[in-house]
Amino acid sequence: MEIVTIKDAAAETGLNTDAILKTLFKQQEGTKFGTVVIPPGVRIPREGTGVHGSDEYSLVLKGTVTVMSGGKEYQVTSGQATLIPAGEAHWSMNRGSEDCEIVWVLI
């Protein structure tokens, strides 16, 4: 068994965003588990959309995030979970006044 403490995990660099993205586990290609903290006013990615080769599951722990996926915008708030299918273009933005904390998994 492995145990990782979120505050001790290194933040990813070179993402062209002010969000704090941490991959906690990466066992095989396309499978990742991590966290992201999106400050108010920050969008991921900063421009355009992101696409993954794996399904992306997310759980909002704190705050609210606007997610554009499949050409539609959704407001996702604390206690809600999302599934973005593999290959679907998407972005996320914190339009609120507090940090948004999310746990995510790519499978």
CA–CA distance, 41 with 37 (Å, rounded to integer): 12
Mean pLDDT, the chain, rounded, equals: 94
Whether 52 maps to a domain, the answer reads yes
pTM of the model: 0.89
Structure tokens at 26: 């990466």
Whether 27 maps to a domain, the answer reads yes
Whether 54 maps to a domain, the answer reads yes
Residue 44 above 80 pLDDT? yes
Residue range of the domain that includes 38: 6-106
What SS3 class is residue 97? Answer: coil
Structure tokens at 105: 């998994």
Phi first, then psi, for residue 2 (nearest 5°) are -115, 145
Whether 45 maps to a domain, the answer reads yes
Number of domains in the chain: 1
CA–CA distance, 37 with 70 (Å, rounded to integer): 23
Whether 1 maps to a domain, the answer reads no
CATH number, domain with residue 85: 2.60.120.10
Residue 13 above 90 pLDDT? no
Query: Mean per-residue pLDDT for 8-12?
Result: 90
Burial (0-12, 13-18, 19+ Cβ within 10 Å), 67: buried
